[in-house]
Chain A
Amino acid sequence: MTEKPEQVAKAGLSARKGHWLIEGLQRMRKNRGAVVAGCAVLMFLFLAIVGPMLAPHDPVDTDPPNRFERPTLEHPFGRDHLGRCIFSRVLAGTRVSFFQGFIATGIALFFGGVLGIVAGYYGGVLDHLISRLVDVMMAFPGFLLAVTIVAALGPGIVNCMIAVGVSSIPRFVRLTRSDVLSFREQEFTEAARASGAKDFRIMFRHILPNVVGPLGVYSTLRLSTAILAAAGLSFLGLGAQPPTPEWGAMAAAGRGHLIRHPHMVLFPAAAIFLLVLAFNFLGDGLRDALDPRQSD
């Protein structure tokens, strides 16, 4: 990429904040994959908002005599083991998956960001404490940590989001901390300090705007992981409880019928696959465009 890190930092510092964003998005337009992925994400988002209204049938309405029906015009994705319309359930599940992904990433972003800024800015014992805690959490594989947390809190959609969120905190702490470390010693921080600004103001008014870009990009990438992890927990029966239409749980319900009724697994799994893929490409493109420091 063409720009140097200092220039980006300055751009972030300057009053023309919107400018770099627009510039970045213009750069991203050249990346066709990212544009397609962005459109796909927007489409999924649209479905998440209006999907349940578009659903031709009630996603929890059972009709056992017609169970395992193959895809038809009326039920484009067929019916599941209780005769529910899989198309309607996949549509309704979009909202659940988005919701889970956003909340979980939000939890990680908020706590990870705050801890990272505090650790990076103050340094010393506080940094040491937070960093070692993060090291300990990083020692667990992320998903295993999430499973452990759900096991402790009990299954359910809320606990599942908390678990996925908490298990993603360490990565956000690390990212934020390393960025803050580099900004802490820069002139604008010194200037703010010299003019008598309090620590809190320096951290959240002067340093934070500079780490928002990378954090935003990382969050987009992390969203896909969070959605996948939440679906994974539901697949294991630890997340959304029946009859909530959740893609992972739907795939789990279908796995016993995989050979004779593959449509039960195929559609929810494809939905997970597409959404995660779209978020990955989008996050990738966003990073290239907005945060060239991190690209290869």
Chain B
Amino acid sequence: MSLLDDRRLALVCALIFAVGIIGMACAPEVEEEPDPTEPEEPEYDFDAGIVISRGEEAETLDIQNTTHASANTTWELLGDSLVIFDEEGNPSPLIAEDWDVSDDGLVYTFYIRDDVTFHSGKELTAHDVEASFERWLSVEGSPTRGDLGEVESLEATDDYTFEIRLEEPHNAIWNVLASPYGTILNVENIDEEGDDWGTARAELIDGTGPFMLADWRRDDQMVLERNEDYVWGPEALYENTGPANIKEITFRVIPEETTRAAEIRRGNIHIDTGVPSAEIPSIKEAEHLVTIMNRPPSLSFLGINCEAAPLDDVKIRKALAHAINREEIVEVVRDGMGDPPYSFLRPGTPGYCPHDPLCFEDEIIRYDVDQAIELLEEAGWTEVDDDGIRMKDGERLESTLSISDTETAVVQGELVQSYAREIGMDIELNTMELAALFEHLRAADHEMFTMGVGYGRRGPDTLYWYHHPGQRPAPNRFYLEHDEMTELLELSRVTPDEEERQEAFCRIEQILLEEVPWIYLTYRDYLAAHDEKLENPQLEHAMYTFPKLLEVKVLSE
């Protein structure tokens, strides 16, 4: 190639870049006119497909080995668990039509429906349930298998009876049995593919749900087709127990928030469960969109590896917690969509301290730079170098914060970085794709990370999940050793006494504020939006997921 071409090319690129920038700045927002000829009697199109956007996709669809929200959403549709929570949060029949729990709380007997089939056509029996649970317990590093409690045995006593025996009572067992984690999988295909199952071939993913996986192009789109044989939908939740009213669901992965918002405004996407905060005004203005504000039990936090210096010193962890201005984070990162958090559980959600004043009132960590600096000086970090970073014995006060590369996470990370600098702590940001972040944390060489959790009906039992030493290296990525907390976490799982359980949670919240293995950043509100041509999209209940989507109907054009 000649020299000339190269130079011209650079010039042209620069020009295109500049023109593009100016063009983008001037481009009018495209909004489609809503259809004015709406029929008086609604007519529905039962062959319609809908498109749902996703910001990111799970690294695997192996629901027994991931807690990623997108995997949950997908398995709500692809599969069924034994039971499902009704509106009041009580377990109601799904694959199991009935069940017994022994008086000592150790034996759970489920009576399985006899008309359920997998997508592959195979009939579901209690033996499949047993195999599915066996496989779950055998998955190395599964973040959810511990939620089943101390399982003594799993047994299909006949074709339609399945029994779980526990070594000790376990209050939280329904949380997993009724969640997508407890989906009954056809394990024959899993054996075939081994550990790669869930990331490899779409046709091997076999469940019993109202939709079947038809096509999956990772990080691009996932197409689900209606299961025409589905008739076992949960009666407690839906009038329509199957098949679904829509023929096809397409999940499109659009990481770019601006693009995602533009696509739903243009009508190319029908549901977005997490409208990015910066786009809320434009979404609310769009006439063809219906919006719903959710205030779910959902939190973002900064996790700390309590074994990594210098954060192995609780005073430094506490100093950092004091340095963080949560009100400002809610304002900047979430455009005011949320609340500043001072405990793990969101006020008003199950397990939140019922006392007045709160049990942990005195331990609450508020924004207080002076106190943060005082704590650092107490810990011996008294010298300050030329950059304003504190030193102790010639060592700088520095740490690394691992975050995902989404815009929200980066802005939040930059804020934390600037708060830390205020008190003389240097934080380096380590950004990576979400899937890579999960891998990185599992490898356990992190120092700090930020993450969000929507804990839904799992409620206070999430604390066991995150902080019991048995849950290392994931989801316990904090490595805080605290005997009293461990005992209380265990007690909360087995005690039949509701009051004792509540007291345990109150004390655990207290300990978490004293030991600071994590720093709460925001309680998150979500704005969901859907196209007005969808009826009953069940988004009021959607925290992250839309159970089954059996009821959704699409108005005919």
Contact = CB atoms under 8 A, between A and B. Distances in A.
Interface of A: 60-62, 64-65, 67, 81-82, 155, 171, 175, 218, 221, 224-225, 228, 237, 241-243, 251, 253, 255-259, 262, 265-266, 269-270, 272-273, 276-277, 280, 283-284, 287, 294, 296
A224 B428 CA distance: 29
Contacts of B407: 256
A294 B4 CA distance: 9
Interface string B409-423: 011011101100100
B18 A269 contact: yes
Given A64-B328, A82-B411, A259-B29, A243 B418 contact: yes
Nearest to B25: A262
Nearest to B19: A273
Contact of A269 (B4, B21, B410, B431): B21
B48 interface: no
Contacts of A65: 328, 331
Interface string B16-46: 0110010011000100000000000000000
Nearest to A225: B10
A71 to B, nearest CB: 14
A67 B277 CA distance: 15
Contact of B332 (A60, A82, A242, A269): A82
A259 B17 contact: no
8 contacts: A62-B418, A221-B6, A224-B10, A225-B6, A228-B14, A237-B405, A256-B276, A280-B10
Contacts of A283: 7
B418 A241 contact: no
B24 A258 contact: yes
B289 to A, nearest CB: 18
Given A62-B415, A81-B332, A243-B417, A221 B18 contact: no
4 tightest Cβ-Cβ pairs between the two chains A and B: A62-B418, A262-B25, A276-B14, A273-B18
B258 A60 contact: no
B384 interface: no
B278 interface: yes
Given A171-B6, A280-B11, A257 B278 contact: yes
A55 B269 CA distance: 45
Contacts of A241: 428-431
Contact of B10 (A60, A257, A276, A296): A276
Contacts of A253: 410-411
Query: From DSSP, what is the main secondary structure of chain A's interface residues?
Result: helix
Contacts of A155: 431
Nearest to B276: A256
A181 B9 CA distance: 27
Contacts of B10: 221, 224-225, 228, 276, 280
A242 B278 contact: no
Given A61-B418, A241-B429, A269-B18, 4 more contacts: A64-B331, A266-B25, A269-B17, A273-B17
B21 A81 contact: no
Interface string B303-336: 0000000000000000000000000100110000
A82 B414 contact: yes
B17 A242 contact: no
A262 B20 CA distance: 13
Interface residues of B, number: 35
B11 A242 contact: no
Given A82-B332, A221-B6, A259 B415 contact: no
A60 B410 CA distance: 15
Interface of B: 3-4, 6-7, 10-11, 13-14, 17-18, 21, 24-25, 29, 257-258, 276, 278, 328, 331-332, 405, 407, 410-411, 413-415, 417-418, 421, 428-431
Given A81-B332, A82-B332, A273-B17, A258 B413 contact: no
Nearest to B8: A280
Contacts of A266: 21, 25
Given A255-B258, A256-B258, A258-B25, A280 B7 contact: yes
Contacts of B29: 259
B332 A64 contact: yes
Contacts of B278: 256-257
Nearest to A257: B278
Nearest to A155: B431
A148 B431 CA distance: 17
Contact of B7 (A221, A256, A270): A221
A259 B429 contact: no
Given A256-B257, A276-B10, A218 B3 contact: yes
Contacts of B24: 258
Contacts of B18: 269-270, 273
B3 A81 contact: no
A253 B409 CA distance: 12
A218 B1 CA distance: 13
B405 A242 contact: no
Contacts of A270: 18
Contacts of B331: 64-65
The interface centre, meaning the residue of A221, A228, A242, A251 with most chain B CB atoms within 10 A of its CB, is: A242
A294 B3 contact: yes
B25 A82 contact: no
A265 B14 contact: no
B7 to A, nearest CB: 5
B318 to A, nearest CB: 22
Contacts of A280: 7, 10-11, 14
A171 B3 CA distance: 9
A221 B6 CA distance: 9
Contact of A277 (B14, B21, B421): B14
A253 B29 CA distance: 20
B14 A273 contact: yes
A5 to B, nearest CB: 15
Given A225-B10, A280-B7, A82 B21 contact: no
B332 A258 contact: no
Contacts of B7: 221, 280, 283-284
B426 to A, nearest CB: 11
B321 to A, nearest CB: 18
B413 A242 contact: yes
A283 B258 CA distance: 38
Nearest to A295: B4
A202 B52 CA distance: 68
B414 A243 contact: yes
A134 to B, nearest CB: 12
A228 B6 CA distance: 13
Contacts of A61: 418
